[in-house]
Amino acid sequence: MMQKDKNNGKKHSFSLRKRLFGGKKEVMDVMQEEAIQSPMRTIVKNFVGNKLSIGGLAVFLLMFLVVLIGPLFYPIQLSEKEETQTNVAPGMDMMKVPKELEGNVRMISTGATFSVGVDNNGKVYVWGRTKISNKIDIKTDMPSQKELGNVVAVSAGFDHAMALNEDGEIICWGSNRMSQAKPPSGMKRKKVKQIAAGYQVSFALTEGGEVIHWGNDNLNDIRITRKKGDGNIEKIAVANTTLMGVTKDGEAVHLGSQPTDIDKIPEDLGKVVDIAATADNALVLLEDGSLRVWGKGTSLVMKLPEIEGKVVSVAGGRTHFTALTDQGKVYAWGADNKGQVDVPSAAKDVSAVYSGSYQNYAITKSGKTVTWGLKGYLLGSDDLGRDVFSRLLNGGRMTMTIGAISVVISTIIGIIVGGVSGFFGGWVDIVLQRITEIVSSLPFLPMAMILTSIIGNSMSENARIILMMAVLGILSWPSLARLVRAQVLAEREKEFVTAANAMGVKKSSIVFKHIIPNVISVIIVSATLDFASCMLTESTLSFLGFGVKLPRPTWGNMLNGCVNSVVIKSYWWRWVFPAIMLSICVICINMVGDGLRDAIDPKSNER
């Protein structure tokens, strides 16, 4: 029969073919095949054949690697807070200059999240994250070009914009909550040469050297004294909530009335020809081309770079300065948390530089616009102006770490209790099972909340996190202990255990070196499913305020601030992305656990 089948080119029904390293095939019958198939190899083969579980494993491993490595490239500062960048929608178009403006730039001004530009023909353009609120959009609310007229200068503030046309008229639009977009009626009789928009405030400098302001007087220190602002100002620069200026005599002056770090102007400056300001610092360009800086800023801002050539103009952003030399080269220094001082190599032969907030625009002599700085937020920002993407990476690492360590603790306890209880039986089994029942009868979430709140309030944040890992591990072992006990009860009656007893092997060695390895596959399945449960529990505790405390992020506490209807409706990115990441991760882990369970259970395999 076999010879006939072979002559007919048919494969024998009781034989299998195996490809060897040399490319040849060896015929093996079923008995030979079964003899070389170990249980672990069978499990792996069955698991690999489950495409859904393999897909879940691939996605989970990818997420695990991203949250493990990502924080190295996107670190966070727990004290980070930026009121000008709150609730910014996802997008990377903050510096996407309109094509119509390219090569025809007269001036660019940058606000908190948007920029305003004007071309040589007097036409105004707006780009970036222009939606300030549900009702205010800087781009759509901008007056028509006919209403604006032939614009010669623009300025962008926190939530409003300004334009100055050739007739000397100032047009403002955007938020007018503090009257910052409503110029005084007397402005029509003034000849304005410079405009500047700040945080809920607007400024205008007249040809006669008078500074006029309107907007939020309570927040901003803009009560300009008569001595400083009486027809003697040549140029102004907005510094956070106050104003700096240069007189016609070349003297740097603070135009506010309240003492601050920025008002402590060095006495030996000399003649000033240009001035710029950050949130807490002032920079002046002296007549001899040298620079002087003072204020409250860090050493990154205070330390001037080595500059080749003579500086011809300076500009300031939120936390950085830029300087342009007569050789067309740009220098930037200060904080670099958003890439605002990383000047690209394309920024050469520059004729003008415009800096503001965290963005920079360099106009080359050929008319090309080179940008660097904050392009936007991939997943938006939260209520404190923090990048959701970087917090999502760091929060994922924390959530997964807590879940993994909690599972390790519960697995160790479950194996020890279940193994000892199942092998020894008798009064040992009775005592351990009663303890198991007591622990399993405790309400899980309430107990975790009580323990972390009572004990954890007197601890540091790191100690509190360790405590939460321990609490989750200690409260979640009973199910695994029962499973291990059932498996050990079945395994202890087999011949290899009897042989080990007869040879005098220690009881502990029989349990943990002989029986437990035979049930390890079941333990792995249970630990995998418990991993997802611990992640969900940690997220639940953090969401309720009993887990990891803000500002340290986890996927759970990132959802904590999204419990009101305004956030859910208007700032959807603050809760959608953490929820999606947590859901995908838990689903993938459960898919892997289900695949392992199906691979281990021979009844689930169709033969």
Do β-strands 124-128 and 114-119 pair in parallel, antiparallel, or remain unpaired?
antiparallel
Q: Select the more confidently predicted residue: 202 or 524.
A: 202
- Is pLDDT above 60 for 23? no
Beta bridge partners of 362: 353, 370
Output the six-digit token pair for 59. 């996605």
Spatial distance between the Cα atoms of 529 and 58, rounded to a whole number of angstroms: 16
Spatial distance between the Cα atoms of 232 and 312, rounded to a whole number of angstroms: 23
| Domains and their CATH numbers in the chain | 47-74+388-604 (1.10.3720.10), 91-220 (2.130.10.30)
Spatial distance between the Cα atoms of 336 and 356, rounded to a whole number of angstroms: 14
- Is pLDDT above 90 for 493? no
Average pLDDT, the chain: 86
Tens-digit pLDDT profile for residues 151-206: 999 999 999 999 999 988 999 999 999 999 999 887 777 889 999 999 999 999 99
Coil, strand or helix: which one is 558? helix
Confidence of residue 331 (pLDDT cuts 50, 70, 90): very high
Long-range pairs for 99-107 at CB < 8 Å and ≥24 separation? 100/125, 101/125, 101/369, 102/367, 102/368, 102/369, 103/367, 103/368, 103/369, 104/367, 105/352, 105/361, 105/363, 105/367, 105/369, 106/152, 107/153, 107/154, 107/354
Nearest to 422 by CA among 476, 490, 510: 490
- Is pLDDT above 50 for 3? no
Tens-digit pLDDT profile for residues 65-118: 999 999 999 998 888 888 899 999 999 999 999 999 998 999 999 999 999 999
Tens-digit pLDDT profile for residues 535-589: 988 888 888 878 888 888 999 889 887 778 888 888 999 999 999 999 999 999 9
Spatial distance between the Cα atoms of 573 and 390, rounded to a whole number of angstroms: 13
pLDDT in the model for residue 21: 44
pLDDT in the model for residue 602: 55
CA angle (562 as vertex; 556, 563 as ends), nearest 5: 105
Confidence of residue 2 (pLDDT cuts 50, 70, 90): very low
Instruction: Go through 17-46 and write b for each residue having 16 or more CB atoms within 10 A of its CB, e for each that does not.
Output: eeeeeeeeeeeeeeeeeeeeeeeeeebeeb
CA-to-CA dists, residue 521 to 41, 357, 408, 524, 532, angstroms: 12, 56, 15, 5, 18
pLDDT in the model for residue 297: 67
- Is pLDDT above 80 for 31? no
Spatial distance between the Cα atoms of 327 and 125, rounded to a whole number of angstroms: 29
With 0-12 CB in 10 A as exposed, 13-18 as middle and 19+ as buried, what is 72? exposed
Output the six-digit token pair for 475. 């409260």
Q: How many CB atoms lie within 10 A of CB 287?
A: 10
What is the DSSP secondary structure assignment for residue 514, as one 8-state letter? I
Give the H/E segment covering residue 356: strand 350-356
Output the six-digit token pair for 383. 């209520």
Q: Is 603 left (phi over 0), alpha (psi -120 to 50) or beta?
A: alpha
- Least confident range from 261-275, 333-347, 455-469, 540-554: namely 455-469
Spatial distance between the Cα atoms of 326 and 556, rounded to a whole number of angstroms: 53
Nearest to 473 by CA among 501, 444, 446: 444
- Is pLDDT above 90 for 29? no
Tens-digit pLDDT profile for residues 230-280: 578 999 999 888 899 999 989 999 888 888 888 888 888 889 999 999 988
Q: How many CB atoms lie within 10 A of CB 378?
A: 16
pLDDT in the model for residue 197: 94
Q: How many CB atoms lie within 10 A of CB 454?
A: 9
Q: Name the range with the highest mean pLDDT among 296-300, 320-324, 478-482.
A: 320-324
Q: Is 462 left (phi over 0), alpha (psi -120 to 50) or beta?
A: alpha
- Is pLDDT above 90 for 133? no
Q: Residue type at 53?
A: S
Single pTM value for the model = 0.83
DSSP line for 106-128? EEEEE-SSEEEEEETTS-EEEEE
Tens-digit pLDDT profile for residues 388-408: 999 999 999 999 999 999 999
Confidence of residue 11 (pLDDT cuts 50, 70, 90): very low
Spatial distance between the Cα atoms of 474 and 407, rounded to a whole number of angstroms: 10
Segment 306-322 shows an average pLDDT of 93
